Amino acid sequence: MAYVYPTPEDIGLKVPKSLIETRYKCGFRHALEGGQISAVEHLKLSFREGFRAGKCYARDLRRARGVVDFPLRARIRFTARG
């Protein structure tokens, strides 16, 4: 099943004139897909600003739906001695 993610224009955000629009939109979509900053292209200013806007939008959307925080995800190591 393919998901349909909103664009910044769909939710009422305007891309600042000082940023590159395509990178901003890519960063916004990457954030909504649950991606992380893991490549050199992700460090560009336009991508980072779009990523930040996407993360803020996702957080506000979760709060509006009643999901405040997700459970802690951590790794636990056990050793058995005996």
Q: With 80 as the cut, is the pLDDT of residue 1 above it? A: no
Q: Kindly compute the dihedral angle of the four CA atoms of residues 1, 55, 75, 65, in this order, to the nearest 10 degrees.
A: -70
**Confidence (pLDDT) at 69:** 72
CB 17 within 8 A of CB 11: no
Question: What token pair was written down for 68?
Answer: 């405040």
CA distance 66 to 75: 27
Looking at residues 37-41, what average pLDDT do you find?
93
Closest CA to 31 of 66, 57, 3: 57
The pTM of this model reads 0.80
pLDDT tens for 45-78 read: 999 999 999 999 999 999 999 987 767 778 888 8
Domain boundaries, the chain: 1-65
CA distance 52 to 47: 9
CB atoms within 10 A of CB 47: 24
